[in-house]
Amino acid sequence: MSYLKLTEEWKSAGMEYNPEQTGLCNRIIFWELAYLFNQINNFKFTILLEKLYWPELNYLSIPDTKGVDEYKDNFWDGDKILDFELLLKDETYKLDTEINWVLFQQKFIEYFKHYFNFIKNFNSNRPLQLIDIKNDILKNTIIKKLDDVIGIHMRKGDVGTPEETIDFEQIRNKLKDKNLSDDKRKELEKESLTCGQGGIWYETFKDERYLKIMDDIVKVKPNQKFYISTNGDKEQLKVFYDNFDILDYSTILDNIEDIDKSKNYLDYELNKNCLRNVTDLFSLSYSKFLILHPESTWSMFAKWYKNVPSVNVSDEFDIYNNRRYI
């Protein structure tokens, strides 16, 4: 059996690991690509993940995949580095199954748009739908608690996000001007995708957008509960907790005593954050209807995992067109 070895760019450069550099859903989509390559090649490979970079393996079951403690410093000796550009342009996607392949996530991110063209044929049957929660108590609690709940993914800043809020809506309106010069258009597009130290500055939408959608929903269903998945704190979300029936990851974890929250996997804090993130992501994904961020892989996973009906917070929300989901 040969291997598809997923790793990070800094691994080969001898750089120090930064756990905030790539989020869970970025890594899951990277894994999904490897799984599809494996599927196309008749599952001749086992996918390898380093536990250091995938501490969530403690809580998640991922098919045809093995967690390893750590690749040796010379882990790529005799292996071949996968060229995403060539492979994604190849209509067969065939690999030599007699050798091991190394896949760098950072290289994959550079060809993200090609990936979405590649994945179109798999949209209704995504490999990420095969990922499951190992702990039955946690999984069943999520399913029970999220029954008839609407999920909302609300970003409150990200790595590299500037303190000043960029008015993306104003930028989008300016880009609609057909008389814009090419130079001005490029300038505005660059401003809307400004890169900070940690990556793209993701758009954060004003609370009013979410509040308007939620108000429209409770007008037709007054007792509707909402699950909020966010990287913000409760103080930032006070207006939502004060005015609506809100659930979050703590609603799930505070009622489960049988999960070992302090299991010594890597260290306590990292393990605690992994449990929180897994609970948060799958709680969002098991909601009956989703209000999502248009640019986030976290939102993408939630939408694809159960093919849940959804709207983007950036779009106009029509309660009557979506009432059957409420």
The span from the CA of 289 to the CA of 312, in Å, is 11
Say which DSSP state 87 is in: H
Domain annotation covers residue 174: yes
Report the candidate in 122, 106, 113 with the shortest Cα–Cα distance to residue 39. Answer: 122
If asked whether residues 78 and 90 sit together in one domain, one would say: yes
Same domain, 276 and 209: yes
Domain that holds residue 190: 168-200
Of these ranges, 67-81, 118-132, 150-164, the one predicted with the greatest mean pLDDT is 118-132
Write out the DSSP string of 237-273.
THHHHHHSEEE-HHHHHTT--SS-TT--SS-HHHHHH
Here the CATH number for the domain that contains residue 142 is 3.40.50.11350
Please give the residue that has the higher pLDDT: either 206 or 133: 133
Residues 122 and 31 in one domain: yes
Q: Which tokens go with 84?
A: 């995403």
- pLDDT one-digit tens code per residue, 203-258: 578 889 999 999 999 999 999 999 999 988 888 899 999 999 999 999 999 877 65
Give domain status of residue 222, yes or no: yes
Q: How many domains does the chain have?
A: 3
Q: CA 98, CA 44: separation in Å to the nearest integer?
A: 9
Alpha carbon distance 87, 34 (integer Å)? 12
Q: Quick one: 141 and 67 in the same domain?
A: no
Q: How many CB atoms lie within 10 A of CB 291?
A: 25
Whole-model pTM over 0.85: no
In a domain, residue 272? The reply is yes
Closest CA to 208 of 285, 98, 313: 313
First to last CA, the chain: 48
Tell whether 163 is covered by a domain.
Answer: no
- Do residues 318 and 267 share a domain? yes
Residue 254 and residue 177 in one domain: no
